[in-house]
Each structure stands twice: as structure tokens, then as C-alpha cells.
Amino acid sequence: MSIQAPRIQVPSVQAPSVQAPSVQARGRTPAGLGDVVVPGDDGYEEARRTVFATGSPALVTRPRDEAEVAAAVAYAAREGLPLSVRSGGHGLTGRATNDGGLVVDLRHLDAVEVVDAHHRLVRVGAGATWGRVAAALAPHGLAISSGDTASVGVGGLTLGGGVGWMVRRHGLTVDALVGARVVLADGRTVVVSRNSHAGLFWALRGGGGGFGVVTGVDLVAARVGDVRYGAIGLALDDPARLVAGWRDVLREADEELSSTLVLAPPVSDRPASASVLVCASHDDAAAAERAVEPLRRLGTVLSDTVATVPYADVLAEGGHHPPGLRLVGRNVLVPRLDDDVVAAVAAASAGDRPVALALRALGGAFSRVLPDATAFAHRDAEALVVGGTVVPQDASDADVEDALAGWRGVAAHGTGAYVNFQGTDTAADLHAAYPPATLARLRAVKRSYDPGGLFGRHLDGAPAGAPAGAPGPGAAS
């Protein structure tokens, strides 16, 4: 059984004819691309950075409409510049910046519109943040399951799939996607849906981008009011017992309950800790509380912040790592949280080089979509497991692998990976994210819509043009 979004006709709009700006010599600031920032300008330092990477682009443009996006794409193509697309800039791989190229920052394309309240059709600019979307939809009693962080951009998260706080009840963000507007490498703007450019529409739902610049998306929101949300802090006496108990509760829970179990290693004089994060989106508050209660019985409760809040309040503000350090992370999707996986997680959280771990429960609506219905193919996963640690800013690749040594035992049990949480951008990561048939189909779409590789060659498994310490550009991030 697959989830079928309501069939809504996405209006077709003719894109304006755009002429690329006339530039006499490389290095001269072009006109017609929106707000342009180049090295030496006030604001360049901020413009060249993302949350996890710092590049040295030749210019960063912030278009205010689709015509300026198309002009920027034409300029990058003519000048032979590496092209990165940025919505929120939260990607660990740093694709939303580059060295020596052009960054298209979509922050001004941030409108949120309820197009059809009866059918819950929402149109969102790709540069909007999910916090902005949640705030705009709350007065209508609507919400879209979409990540954990308010400052994450709509474009990047959607293109990678979108694992959010209501993933078990409403599926991935891409499961709500019914249309998108895309500026292609040849300057055309196309409106895609199930019935128009269907191959591209399939690829946008989890393919990670790199097919064009997605300027806006149409999504079917869910009716959501208040939710029970918060964190239950537990004593971490026996990690394996805690992980197994959490797994067993979620296996029996109805799909209105989503949860993430966080195991934090000791830091300085702070002992190891465990937190069970919950979001219960029941229509009935009493039922939501009953769903949460078994999680409190997993161990000694040290703290409890679970409360009834508007859904818009569950999206956290973006965190930042301490100066001089950088966050490195990995993830796997596991089909079963069996005892071997539980043992590996416990060992990784408490070994000589422990890593922080977060286990997110899947299933429910997430699993009712056929694996070939979208480019996010790993619908059989019971859980998403994320591991991470911090390293010095100038740590080498070997240093990073050493710091993550404890993660390898967990990774060995994975059958896939979530592209939005990938920490590197290698051929191995590409094959982890996409099964062979899915990858072949994505490459065919890429050849059709971006034969010259203007939007990056990440689907070849060989990115290029990346900033120091980060891989190459391509997908929005």
C-alpha cells in the first residue's frame, strides 16, 4: 500500500525569457543576478560560509525572483564556474558553498502561501526556512513534517527526503510533495508534478538535487494542532537495555508517536547521559500522554520537559559547534534494530572513543510508500541511526576516521543511508544512499536535464570544486 497525496492540478506558468547579463571580462561583477556579493565586499565572510563549511566562491548571488535565478545559471554556464545552490546551508558536506565558483543563495525566495485551504495545498519558496513555514501554517491548523531545526531551508531538506517529527504519522516531506518549479541548465523553468516531467518529479523526491535550481515547492499539509513534545532524561546505567527497551516500546506504539533516543558520551566532568525525545501528534491530548508514558518506565527519570505545545514550537533553533572545532557525522538506516545492532550501538556509545548517537524510529506512514515510488528507496528501515563527534577544525581525514572509529561497528549493520545526514560525499556514500536501480534511474534523469553537469557531478561519485574540508557542489543544502 502506498501513500497517495490528493491529486491537485499544479498550475503551469510560463517562465519569462531571460537573457544572461553581459559581462565583458571575468571577475567583473555581473548585473541582473540579484544581490551580488564578491570577495572584498561587506558581508562576503558571512556569504561564503555555511553552517559546517567555509568556501571561497568568486561570487554569491541572492536572486529575488525566478528570472534572476535563471540569469545566474546562465552566467555560471557561460563562465564555466562551479555552481552551488543554497537554501539553508545546513548540509554537513558543505555543498552549498564552493571555491572559485558561483553560489546561488535562495534566501529571498521565501514566500509561504496557502493556495487551497480545503485541499491543504501550500506553496513554499525553496529559500524559506521550516521555522517560517511552521509559523505561517499554524494559524490554519496545518503543518508539514519537516526535520528538527527551524533554520533549515525548505529546498535542501525536501530534496533529500525530509525525516521530521511526524515521520511515522505523515511520512517524509517528499511524501507531501505534489509539485515544484525548477530552473534548468538551459535557462528554462519547468513546472513538475506526477503528470508533467514525471521522471524529474520522481528524482526530486529524495534524489538530493543537482538536476536544476528548485525555486519553489507545492506540498499537501496535514491538519495538526498541539502536540505532546519534549525530552525525558534517563540515567544511562545500561545502554543496551535502554536501547532495546526503547525499540520495544516503539514497535508497540501507534504511529502518532515519533521518538528519537539520544546517547551522549561523557564530556569533561559531565557523565554520559540519555534522552528520549518524543512528539505525539494525536488528535486527543489524553491519548498522546498515554503514548508517551511507557517511555518514562525505561529507566530512572532525571528530567522531563514533555508538554503540550503548538507544532511550530517543536522546531529547535540551529546549534553551533564551539570555535575551533567542527562536527563530523555519519548515518545508517537499519532494517531491524535486532540484538546485534543494539549491542553495536551500546559499544559505540561507551567504548574507548565513544561517539554521540541518535536513533530515530521510523515505520508507520514512512513504510507504506513503495520503495520505487520516490528516490528515497529505503522504506523498509526500522530506524535511522546517526553518530557524530567533534574534531579540531584542521583535523585531517585520517584524524576524522580515527575519531569515528567507534562508529564502524554500527555502520556495518546498515543497509542504506539518509542523504541529508551524510557527512562525506564519496562514491561509497552515493551507493549507500541509493540502491543500484534507484541510482541508475537518477543518473538517467540527470543526463536528460543536466547533460553538461552544470549542477555538479555528485551522481557520478566524483565531486569536484569543493571548498577545503568539504566535497563538491551540486544539490541545494
Residues 260-270 pLDDT 10s: 999 998 877 78
Residue 1 has pLDDT above 60, yes or no: no
Kindly state the average pLDDT of the residues 314-336.
84
Torsion of CA 178, 168, 240, 398, to 10 degrees: 10
Average pLDDT, integer, range 202-208: 97
Averaged pLDDT of the chain: 89
| Residue 469 confidence class, pLDDT cut points 50, 70, 90 | very low
Between 26 and 388, the higher pLDDT residue: 388
Helices (H), 353-406: 397-403
pLDDT at 319: 59
pLDDT at 327: 84
Q: Quick check: 24 pLDDT over 60?
A: no
Which residue shows C-alpha cell 525536501?
Answer: 158
DSSP 229-272: EEEEEE--S-HHHHHHHHHHHHHHS-TTEEEEEEEE--BTTBPP
Provide the pLDDT confidence category of residue 13 given band limits of 50, 70 and 90.
very low
Between strands 59-62 and 102-105, the pairing is parallel
Report the predicted TM-score, pTM, of the whole model to 2 decimal places: 0.89
400/381: higher pLDDT: 381
Distance CA 379, CA 333 (A): 9
Averaged pLDDT for residues 135-154: 94
Residues 59 and 23: their CA atoms lie apart, in Å, by: 14
Low-confidence winner among 23-32, 161-170, 277-286 (lowest mean pLDDT): 23-32
Q: How large is the average pLDDT for residues 115-140?
A: 96
Cα separation of 96 and 315, whole Å? 22
Using the structure block, give the residue that is written with the C-alpha cell 532494517: 335
Residue 92 has pLDDT above 90, yes or no: no
The length of the chain in residues reads 477
- Tell whether the model's pLDDT for residue 380 goes beyond 60: yes
Check residue 477 and give its pLDDT.
55
pLDDT at 143 over 90: yes
Tell me what the mean pLDDT of segment 193-207 comes to.
97
Closest CA relative to residue 443, chosen from 462, 459, 431: 459
| 183, pLDDT greater than 50 | yes
